């Protein structure tokens, strides 16, 4: 357990901005709550954390983050149940993962007590911003940036760890069609694909914009060496249902170790669904699509929870997926959100009460 009572300097807004927000018309990640959490790393020590009004930062143009992208982030959500209790979902995993990402990017670890005390005290302040009802949540974005004023290509001596929050509605991306990558790669062996490192995302925008122009919303990345194995989407891990068996790639240093992915694997086991965690080839998925055994493809990630995919293209071959009544995608989404919103039992201890 972490010490949630550590000293945090709190300065509150004089007036909340919440009255100016239309919770029925939210664009994902555009509106932010009243406060933010900030903690600076100076002279080898994380300083006293602060919670202060959400506001722009003053950072030198020479700060290393602008030049070398030494930056990592996390994405998590808070939910409100029918009794106005607030819940996080597996936050320890997010905490461990941001430090794993930081480690790879030569950023110092953030202390656990600071993370949990900061997060829970910030959420207490922003309670009103978390709306009840399935689909509503508060998206939480912890991140770290290198702030030292120095443009030599070496790790920073100072950093800023922050948490900002954005109210979110159920995220429906519409019919999602995807392109299996043939040329571009997201990550390579020995690289930073497993980390939520800022540059991983910026590097996807260009190839993804080419996919958009062809009518595909996302890319399913394949291994950088052969482009024969399906790995993951830009911000989601990916599952294939062939017959009644689920397939998903094993984690490696190119693939982000998604918390939603881990939950889907566990829920599949709990519900006696066959699951194989193994390398999945482009060829077998195309073959399954041709012979009618490919029933579903879906993405799994915090933002969209489970995102069904309607079709895909590879090497000029286009495939549409059948519309299923009782899809695994909807089963997993229902089971997961029931746990998140405290509607069902939580046999694996995934909920965390704020
Ligand atoms: C964040 C992310 C995921 C999903 O992880 P969750 O912990 O389930 O939110 C998957 N792939 C990539 C590349 C990601 O950045």
Q: Would you say the CATH fold of 177-340 matches that of 9-169? A: no
Q: Which residues touch 93 (CB under 8 Å, ≥6 apart)?
A: 259, 262
Ligand 1 pocket by C-beta < 6 Å: which residues? 75, 196, 232, 235-237, 256, 258-261, 300-302
pLDDT number for residue 173: 66
Residue with tokens 């461990």: 96
Protein fold of 177-340: D-amino Acid Aminotransferase; Chain A, domain 2 (3.20.10)
Task: Return the residue whose CA atom lies nearest to atom 15 of ligand 1.
Answer: 235
pLDDT number for residue 172: 67
Q: Would you list the domain boundaries of the chain?
A: 9-169, 177-340
8 Å CB contact between 278 and 303: no
Q: 299 alpha carbon to ligand 1 midpoint, in Å?
A: 10
pLDDT tens track for 292-346: 999 999 999 999 899 999 999 999 999 999 999 899 999 999 999 999 999 999 9
Q: Is pLDDT above 90 for 2?
A: no
Q: Is 271 helix (H, G, I), strand (E, B) or coil?
A: coil
Q: What would the DSSP string read from start to end of 5-66?
A: T---EE---SS-SGGG--TTSPPTT----SEEEEEEEETTEE---EEEE-------TTBHHH
Q: Which residues touch 202 (CB under 8 Å, ≥6 apart)?
A: 69
Cα→Cα distances 217→23, 67, 278, Å? 26, 29, 26
pLDDT tens track for 135-182: 999 999 999 999 999 999 999 999 999 999 999 998 666 789 999 999
Q: 301 alpha carbon to ligand 1 midpoint, in Å?
A: 5
Q: 152 alpha carbon to ligand 1 midpoint, in Å?
A: 31
Per-residue pLDDT band at 1 (split at 50, 70, 90)? low
pLDDT number for residue 11: 98
Mean per-residue pLDDT for 34-60? 97
CATH of the domain spanning 9-169, picked from 3.30.470.10, 3.40.50.300, 3.30.70.980, 3.30.360.10: 3.30.470.10
Residue among 242, 196, 240, 173 nearest 28 (CA): 173
Task: Burial-class residue 282 by CB neighbours within 10 Å (0-12, 13-18, 19+).
Answer: buried
Tokens describing residue 160: 């800023």
pLDDT number for residue 170: 80
Instruction: For the beta carbon of residue 199, count every other beta carbon within 10 angstroms.
Output: 15
- Percent of the chain at pLDDT > 90 equals 95
pLDDT number for residue 175: 82
Q: Is pLDDT larger for residue 43 or for residue 173?
A: 43
Q: 195 alpha carbon to ligand 1 midpoint, in Å?
A: 9
């Amino acid at each position: 357990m972490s010490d949630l009572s550590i000293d945090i300097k709190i300065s509150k807004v004089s007036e909340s901005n919440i009255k100016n927000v239309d919770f029925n018309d939210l664009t994902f990640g555009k509106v932010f709550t009243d406060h933010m959490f900030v903690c600076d790393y100076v002279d080898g020590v994380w300083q006293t954390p602060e919670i202060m009004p959400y506001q722009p930062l003053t950072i030198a143009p020479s700060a290393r983050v602008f030049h070398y992208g030494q930056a990592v982030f996390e994405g998590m959500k808070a939910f409100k149940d029918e009794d106005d209790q607030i819940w996080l979902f597996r936050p320890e995993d997010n905490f461990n993962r941001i430090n794993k990402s930081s480690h790879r990017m030569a950023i110092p670890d953030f202390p656990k007590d600071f993370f949990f005390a900061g997060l829970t005290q910030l959420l207490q302040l922003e309670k009103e911003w978390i709306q009840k009802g399935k689909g509503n949540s508060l998206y939480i974005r912890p991140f770290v940036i290198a702030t030292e004023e120095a443009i030599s290509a070496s790790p920073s001596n100072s950093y800023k760890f922050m948490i900002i929050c954005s109210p979110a509605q159920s995220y429906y991306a519409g019919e999602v069609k995807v392109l299996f990558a043939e040329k571009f790669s997201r990550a390579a062996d020995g690289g930073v694909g497993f980390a939520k490192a800022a540059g991983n995302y910026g590097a996807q925008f260009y190839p993804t914009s080419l996919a958009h122009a062809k009518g595909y919303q996302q890319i399913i990345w394949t291994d950088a060496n052969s482009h024969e194995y399906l790995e993951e989407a830009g911000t989601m891990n990916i599952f294939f249902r062939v017959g009644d068996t689920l397939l998903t790639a094993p984690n490696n240093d190119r693939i982000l170790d998604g918390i939603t992915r881990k939950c889907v694997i566990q829920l599949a086991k709990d519900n006696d669904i066959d699951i194989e965690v193994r390398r999945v080839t482009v060829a077998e998925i195309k073959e399954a699509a041709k012979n009618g055994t490919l029933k579903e493809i879906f993405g799994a990630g915090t933002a969209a929870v489970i995102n069904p995919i309607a079709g895909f293209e590879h090497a000029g071959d286009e495939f549409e997926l059948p519309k299923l009544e009782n899809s695994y995608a909807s089963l997993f989404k229902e089971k997961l959100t029931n746990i998140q919103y405290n509607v069902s039992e939580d046999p694996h201890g995934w909920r965390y009460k704020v």
